[in-house]
Chains A and B, each alone.
Chain A
C-alpha cells in the first residue's frame, strides 16, 4: 500500500479508540490493524497472517471481537474500538484476564497474546448473552448464558492460533476469570 492519497480514494473517519476520539483521513485501502499500529502507534494488536486466519489482530469493535486485518477502516466510521491497550480501562490495573494470563504464564513468545486476550473478552460476553458454539448441546435452552467448560473455551477460542502451543495455560487463565 502507498500512503499517497489519490483523489476520491480517501475519506475522513471518526472513531473512538480506547475511549479517545480520533479523526483521520484514511486511504480506503487502510485496514483497521494498520491504522492502529501505524497511524495511532498502538502496536499491541499484532499482524500474524494478515488474512483472517490466525486471530493475532483481534480487537473489539462496538464490543464484538473481530479480525482487524480484514476490516477496512473507512467502513468503521462512528465505531468504538477497544484494543489490548484499552482492556484495563483508564486505571493502572490490568484487566482481570490479563492478570490471569500473568498468573498462569499463559504464553511463551507472547505474539498471539493481545489477540487471545481481546478474543477471550469478546467470547465471554457472547457466552453470557447465550450464544451457542459448535460444542454446545443443541438441546440447551436458547438465550440462557452458556456454561463454559474446557471444550467450550477451546472451541470458542479456535480462531486464535498459538504457535508456541500455550493453549493449556490459556484455557486455565480463562477458567480463572470465569470462576
Chain B
C-alpha cells in the first residue's frame, strides 16, 4: 500500500472541496470494502477524505410520510430502526442478510451502495479485468463465473453488484441524495448503478467528486407489505447467489401495487419490470406469479456455469410473492 494524505472535513461542502483539491482522492466512510481494496492494491488513493463522521448519521421522518436516511447511518442501526422495520421491512431484512455483525456495525448506507464487486478477477492484480484495468479483458467470462451475472452483462464484464441493501432499496423506489461540485441532485436507486456495457470501470452514474449524503425512503411504499429473501452457499455471512426483494399490495384479490427486484443476477439491482407490468391488475395467485416471473427471466443469458441461478431466482421470487399475497377468502 502506498502512503496517502488523510483529511477529516466537518461538513459536506468542505468534503466536496477537499476532493476537488486532491486529485486521486477517495471518500472513506466505514472502510469495510475500500480499506480491503487498498490492501489488495486494487484501490490506490493518494488521499482519503474521511466522511465517516460527517453529521449525516440520523434517520428523519418527513411530513409527507417519507424517511430520510443519512449517508453515514450504520447498516446495523438502519436495520434495527423501528420505523424501517415496521414500514419498509424488506430493507431491514436485506441489511440483516448481508455481511456479519461486525461489518454491519462499520458499513454505512452510502458506502454500501458504492461497494465494488467481489468478482475474484477484479480483486486479483494478476488477472485480466476490464473493471479494474480497462482493456485488459475479462477473465471471468470463460473462467470461474459460477457467481456471476445472468442478466444485463456485456462482452467486457459479467460481474454482479454485491449489495443486499441496494436490492431492497430498488424495489422500494428509494432515491439517492447526492451533493457535488455542481450542487445537489437525486437519483432513483434503480438508475444509480450502471450496466457494464463498454465501460465496466464505472459502477454508477455519479459524477466525479459527488458524495452520497442520504437515501430517501418514499411514502409510496411505506407500510406496503414487503420482504427480502436470499440464497447463498452457507447459512450466513456469504454473498447472494440470487436474492429477491418484493413489494406487494393486493386489494380484493387483485394486485394493486407490486415491485420485484433481483440481486446477485446483474451488475446492478435488477428491477423486474416485465414481471411488474404483467402482475399489476392481475389476480394474485400462483398462476399469475409464475407467468409474470417467467416473463422476466426469459431475458436471462446464463454463462457456462451459472444457469442454476435462473430457476433459483424464480423459486425465490415465487416463494416471496406467495408469502406476501393474502390467502384467498375461505381458505
Residues of A within 8 A of B (CB): 1, 6, 8-9, 11, 27-29, 31, 50-52, 55, 58, 64-67, 70-72, 74-75, 119, 122-123, 126, 129-134, 136, 138, 142-143, 154-160
Known: A52-B36, A67-B106. A132 touches B79 (CB 8 A): yes
Taking a contact as CB atoms under 8 Å apart, the answer to whether A71 and B31 are in contact is: yes
Given contacts A75-B8, A75-B28, A142-B81, 5 further A-B contacts (CB under 8 A): A132-B80, A134-B93, A158-B101, A158-B235, A159-B102
A16 to chain B, nearest CB (A): 17
Taking a contact as CB atoms under 8 Å apart, the answer to whether B85 and A142 are in contact is: yes
Look across to chain B and name the residue whose beta carbon is closest to the beta carbon of A9. B3
Q: How many A-B residue pairs have CB under 8 A?
A: 111
**Minimum-distance CB pairs A-B, first 3:** A159-B100, A142-B82, A9-B3
Known: A67-B106, A72-B31, A75-B50. A8 touches B5 (CB 8 A): yes
Bound-state Cα–Cα, A66 to B107, Å: 10
B93 / chain A contacts, CB cutoff of 8 Å? 134, 138
Bound-state Cα–Cα, A11 to B50, Å: 14
Residues of B within 8 A of A (CB): 1, 3-6, 8, 28, 31-32, 35-36, 39, 48, 50, 52, 76, 79-82, 85-86, 89, 92-93, 96-97, 99-103, 105-106, 227, 235-237
The 19 listed contacts between A and B (C-beta, < 8 Å) are A9-B3, A9-B4, A27-B3, A50-B39, A51-B39, A52-B32, A70-B32, A70-B106, A72-B6, A72-B48, A74-B6, A119-B101, A119-B102, A132-B92, A143-B82, A154-B236, A158-B236, A159-B100, A159-B103
Bound-state Cα–Cα, A158 to B102, Å: 10
Look across to chain A and name the residue whose beta carbon is closest to the beta carbon of B79. A132
Taking a contact as CB atoms under 8 Å apart, the answer to whether B6 and A11 are in contact is: yes
Bound-state Cα–Cα, A143 to B77, Å: 11
Taking a contact as CB atoms under 8 Å apart, the answer to whether B31 and A75 are in contact is: yes
A72 / chain B contacts, CB cutoff of 8 Å? 6, 28, 31, 35, 48
Bound-state Cα–Cα, A78 to B123, Å: 33
Look across to chain A and name the residue whose beta carbon is closest to the beta carbon of B40. A51
Bound-state Cα–Cα, A126 to B100, Å: 13
Look across to chain A and name the residue whose beta carbon is closest to the beta carbon of B81. A142
Look across to chain A and name the residue whose beta carbon is closest to the beta carbon of B89. A138
B82 / chain A contacts, CB cutoff of 8 Å? 142-143
Bound-state Cα–Cα, A74 to B48, Å: 11
Taking a contact as CB atoms under 8 Å apart, the answer to whether B100 and A134 are in contact is: no
Taking a contact as CB atoms under 8 Å apart, the answer to whether A67 and B102 are in contact is: yes
Bound-state Cα–Cα, A138 to B95, Å: 13
Taking a contact as CB atoms under 8 Å apart, the answer to whether A142 and B6 are in contact is: no
Known: A55-B102, A132-B80, A156-B101. A138 touches B85 (CB 8 A): yes
B8 / chain A contacts, CB cutoff of 8 Å? 75
B86 / chain A contacts, CB cutoff of 8 Å? 142
B230 to chain A, nearest CB (A): 9
Bound-state Cα–Cα, A72 to B52, Å: 12
Known: A75-B28, A126-B76. A158 touches B100 (CB 8 A): yes
A67 to chain B, nearest CB (A): 5
Taking a contact as CB atoms under 8 Å apart, the answer to whether A75 and B96 are in contact is: no
Known: A70-B31, A70-B35. A28 touches B4 (CB 8 A): yes
Look across to chain A and name the residue whose beta carbon is closest to the beta carbon of B30. A70
B35 / chain A contacts, CB cutoff of 8 Å? 31, 70-72
Bound-state Cα–Cα, A64 to B74, Å: 11
Known: A71-B106, A134-B96. A29 touches B85 (CB 8 A): no
Look across to chain B and name the residue whose beta carbon is closest to the beta carbon of A1. B1
Taking a contact as CB atoms under 8 Å apart, the answer to whether B101 and A134 are in contact is: no
B281 to chain A, nearest CB (A): 28
Taking a contact as CB atoms under 8 Å apart, the answer to whether B96 and A133 are in contact is: yes
